[in-house]
Amino acid sequence: MSAELRKHTVVALVEDRPGVLNRVASLFRRRGFNIDSLAVGTTEEPGISRMTIVVASENGIVDQVQKQLAKLIDVIEVADLTGEDAVIRELALIKVACTTEQRREVLDLVDIFRARAVDVAPGSLIIQIVAEERQFNSLIENLEPYGILEMTRTGRIAMLRGDQTTAVHDPESEELQRFRHSSGRRPAGELPYVSD
Amino acid sequence: MRMSGADIVLESLKRVGIDTVFGYPGGVVLPLYDRWPAHPEVRHILVRHEQGGGHAADGYARAAGRLGCALATSGPGATNLVTAVQNAMMDSVPTLFVTGNVARNLIGRDGFQEADATGILTPCVKHNYLVMHAENLAHTFAEAAYLATTGRPGPVHIDIPKDVFIDEAEFVWPEEVSVRGYDLPGAADEADIARAAELIDAAERPLIIAGHGVILGEACEELRQFAEHTGVPVLNTLLGLGSIPRTHVLSYGMMGMHGSYEANMAASNADLVIGIGNRMDDRAIGRFNDFNHHAKLIHVDIDAGEHGKNLPTAVPILGHVKDVLPQLRDATRQRSHLDWIRWIDEVRDDHSHSMAIPSGPQMTSQGVIKRISERCDDETVIVTGVGQHQMWAAQHMRFSYPNQLITSGGLGTMGFEVPAAMGAQVAKPDALVWSICGDGGFQMTLQELATMVDENLPVKMAIINNGYLGMVRQWQELFYEDNYVAVAISQPDFVKLGEAYGIKALRVTDADKIDGAIAEANDHDGPVLVDFQVEAEGNVWPMVPAGSALSETVEAPRPETPSEVAR
């Protein structure tokens, strides 16, 4: 069975509470799905976090990924944005070796890719780029001859264009919010010493 | 009302309808046990090992048809539960597992008896909780019970640090539970029902595979009506046995690795397969890629994750089986499939030797199991372990109502038989409960005999004793050229062992004495252990070798003279 591998962008809206990342990661490991990248952050709705997961797999597998994710109690909503009209971005910081003589040409490259130099040192530059994958790879290719010293990427995030949203606006009662927020979280302050 | 975390836990157990907890105490749950005498409505049964407690809760839940509960301490208590939790997960059994943990300020410091219980159990449960605030306890229990018993049921685990039992909080029981990440399926999609009905009406050789979901969804009557209306023969998965009476004219018993020859041929030759509350497991379906290419598949399940997981599905139907089956019945024509049924009957009659019990003076496992079955009444519960005896029980016992058979299907847990039977007996104190045990599995969890004696649970245990880990030996014989490695298993004198526990114990070495021993066990008011010393090297036939297609079902290589045909 040789099916074409394709990168899928799956968005999961999850309860913001301890253990959620572990549940999601555990599910991917257990079912043998490979995570290309994973980005997590808060959303416009207090108590709800958004995970953007990039999975390289056959179409049928992504269907299973979505269904298995949706089964997790802490996962509120799952959507596959692959092939949808969406803004897809990733941010990277790239530290590139660069002598003062080379600096001008590197900065020209940075301009072409609409990236930015955010740190300048005598022998190196940190370049920040916010882009889609193709543009991103192309910049790296062009920087490689200078020597890439270090690189870090945030992983992909995505949002549908236009009025459509992948959001949950389902406010719960204050009581329930308090329960969900504190569930599994260590209380603040000193705890009494209780030995076992 | 303000009360301690311990009181809130016990009060919450009552609210969710738990009347029995199979538990084992330890350091961190001491504050809970300290308050137990004030809550006599919740019976505590002291087991001898946490795994036993877990399986007992599982057996209890299946026999009673409601939430079962087991309790353990932190660290080793929690890790000893793992097998039982995963067992309940694989078989979708509504269970609540409660563990204590070290006090909050000690979590993460690798203190005495600390284990990451929620981390360890996360992949084994439907959901779990670490409760860090006493005021969250009541809500957590309400939510946990709701999750465990609704939708596709399963185990839910609650981990409670020691000092949370001690902290005080207001006891507020939530009037309703709603979980926004948990949607129960509503009515099935009408277009799906229409498409399914079209396929059913057009089919010439349709077949139903009824699984555990029919029993869990309490839809046995709806299944019978749907099958009778459409005239479609019904096969069962192992856990689906009992969803339709085996005596029903449309019931063709179990399919799969040790299913009947006719069941596997029917599944391989059908032009439409209607899976109902089953999960298309490899033991039932055989090699996925070669499962009947001519058949279209309709799959009714409450869990969308099961649709298309193992087999391409023409029409997945998401919904409660109890609602979907009447909808399908109303949408389809009344039919009978006489030619198709005649075809299956002919296969059955031509292969009647394939499940025959060997003749001769020797005592066979099948013979013992069949005789126990013949002496069951309408309330008898059969619990089995895992291996040859389990398959022979599935083949030769005539299950006629739901949850009459309690067995470890998905996980295949040896050692399930004794504690699960104990749990079933607690759930049904007046029923006759027979535990069909392997001599291997029995030795894994026999410590629960002491619990049975303590609680005077009159479980009847039949050790199908062939001196081998029989199923493994069968595979070594058939697929590893008789190279028997680590399968001959020694054993204690089971009669002396039973007597040491204060249990009536019998040994049967002669086929003529089988009936007498069963009658004696049935008549005895208390637990009984019967050591049936059966032939050593019997094999379970027919068989689909691991990794083969159902159509490649193999029968016994040298047909033995059938003395007693198994139907």
Partners of B74 on chain A (C-beta within 8 Å) are 196
Partners of A19 on chain B (C-beta within 8 Å) are 118, 122, 130
Q: How far is CA B256 from CA B149, B220, B279, in A?
A: 28, 21, 13
Q: What is the largest CA-CA distance in chain A?
A: 66
Contact A182 B112 (CB under 8 A): no
For B254, the enclosing helix (H) or strand (E) is strand B251-254
pLDDT at A51 exceeding the cut of 80: yes
Contact A26 B123 (CB under 8 A): yes
Q: Which region holds residue B110: left if phi is over 0, alpha if psi is between -120 and 50, else beta?
A: left
Minimum distance, in Å, between the CA of residue B180 and any CA atom of chain A: 6
How many whole angstroms from its chain centre is CA B567? 24
* From A16-20, B26-30, B338-342, the region with the lowest mean pLDDT: A16-20
How many whole angstroms separate alpha carbon B61 and alpha carbon B523? 26
pLDDT at B562 exceeding the cut of 60: no
What per-residue confidence (pLDDT) applies to A31? Answer: 86
What percent of chain B lies above the pLDDT cut of 90?
95
Minimum distance, in Å, between the CA of residue A84 and any CA atom of chain B: 23
Partners of B129 on chain A (C-beta within 8 Å) are 183-184
What percent of chain A lies above the pLDDT cut of 70?
97
Report pLDDT digits (tens) over B164-198: 999 999 999 999 999 999 999 999 999 999 999 99
What per-residue confidence (pLDDT) applies to A58? Answer: 77
What per-residue confidence (pLDDT) applies to B449? Answer: 98
Q: Is B71 exposed, middle or buried (0-12, 13-18, 19+ CB in 10 A)?
A: buried
In one-letter notation, the amino acid at residue B518 is I
pLDDT at B377 exceeding the cut of 90: no
What per-residue confidence (pLDDT) applies to A2? Answer: 47
User: By the CB < 8 Å criterion, does A168 face chain B?
Assistant: yes
Which of B28, B102, B147 is nearest residue A73 as measured by Cβ atoms? Answer: B147
pLDDT at B430 exceeding the cut of 50: yes
pLDDT classification of B558: cutoffs 50, 70, 90: low
pLDDT at A49 exceeding the cut of 90: yes
pLDDT at B145 exceeding the cut of 50: yes
What per-residue confidence (pLDDT) applies to A134? Answer: 87
What per-residue confidence (pLDDT) applies to B339? Answer: 97
pLDDT at B566 exceeding the cut of 80: no
What per-residue confidence (pLDDT) applies to A190? Answer: 84
Higher pLDDT, B317 or A135: B317
* From A158-162, B94-98, B107-111, B242-246, the region with the lowest mean pLDDT: B107-111
Whose CA is closest to A176, among B177, B9, B132? Answer: B177
pLDDT at B35 exceeding the cut of 60: yes
Mean pLDDT over B65-71 rounds to 97
Structure tokens at B43: 């019976």
Report pLDDT digits (tens) over A108-136: 999 999 999 999 999 999 999 999 888 98
Q: Is B15 exposed, middle or buried (0-12, 13-18, 19+ CB in 10 A)?
A: middle
A83 within 8 A of A59, measured Cβ to Cβ: no
How many whole angstroms from its chain centre is CA B262? 24
Contact B307 A194 (CB under 8 A): no
In one-letter notation, the amino acid at residue B251 is S
How many whole angstroms separate alpha carbon B129 and alpha carbon B136? 10
A109 within 8 A of A59, measured Cβ to Cβ: no
Q: How far is CA B195 from CA A13, B272, B299, in A?
A: 33, 13, 12
Q: What is the largest CA-CA distance in chain B?
A: 73
* From A67-71, A166-170, B480-484, B515-519, the region with the lowest mean pLDDT: A166-170
How many whole angstroms separate alpha carbon B99 and alpha carbon B104? 14
User: By the CB < 8 Å criterion, does B140 face chain A?
Assistant: yes
pLDDT at B368 exceeding the cut of 70: yes
What per-residue confidence (pLDDT) applies to A150? Answer: 97
CB pairs under 8 A between A and B: 93
What per-residue confidence (pLDDT) applies to A1? Answer: 41
Q: Report helix, strand or coil for B445.
A: helix
Mean pLDDT over A16-21 rounds to 93
What Rg value do the Cα atoms of chain A yield, rounded?
A: 21
Structure tokens at B195: 């498409």
User: By the CB < 8 Å criterion, does B168 face chain A?
Assistant: no
**Averaged pLDDT score across all residues of chain B:** 96
Give the chain A residue nearest B151 (alpha carbons). A71
Structure tokens at A102: 């080379």
Dihedral of alpha carbons A60, A65, A66, A71, sign: positive
Which of A67, A179, A191 is nearest residue B105 as measured by Cβ atoms? Answer: A191
Mean pLDDT over A11-16 rounds to 96
Per-position b or e across A128-141, b if 16+ CB within 10 A of its CB: ebebeeeebeebbe
For B269, the enclosing helix (H) or strand (E) is helix B261-269
Whose CA is closest to B372, among B392, B387, B402, B352? Answer: B392
pLDDT at B14 exceeding the cut of 90: yes
DSSP string across B379-400: T-EEEE-SSHHHHHHHHHS---
User: By the CB < 8 Å criterion, does B552 face chain A?
Assistant: no
pLDDT classification of B565: cutoffs 50, 70, 90: very low
B355 within 8 A of B542, measured Cβ to Cβ: yes
Mean pLDDT over B95-113 rounds to 95
Q: Report helix, strand or coil for B115.
A: coil
* From A181-195, B99-113, B258-272, B358-372, the region with the lowest mean pLDDT: A181-195
Number of CB atoms found within 10 A of residue B191's CB: 9
**Which residues make Cβ contacts (< 8 Å) with residue B30, sequence separation at least 6?**
B162
Structure tokens at B19: 């009347």
Number of CB atoms found within 10 A of residue B429's CB: 11
Count of residues for chain A? 196
**Which residues make Cβ contacts (< 8 Å) with residue B190, sequence separation at least 6?**
none
Give the chain A residue nearest B138 (alpha carbons). A179
Contact A14 B181 (CB under 8 A): yes
- Looking at the DSSP bridge assignments, the partners of residue B286 are B549
pLDDT at B378 exceeding the cut of 90: no
**Averaged pLDDT score across all residues of chain A:** 92
Structure tokens at A88: 């897809």
Contact A64 B74 (CB under 8 A): no
Q: Which region holds residue A121: left if phi is over 0, alpha if psi is between -120 and 50, else beta?
A: beta
- Looking at the DSSP bridge assignments, the partners of residue A56 are A7
Report pLDDT digits (tens) over B220-245: 999 999 999 999 999 999 999 999 99
Between CA A84 and CA B142, with CA A50 as vertex, the angle to 5 degrees is 125
What per-residue confidence (pLDDT) applies to A5? Answer: 77
- What is the crossing angle of helices B76-90 and B50-64, to 10°? 30
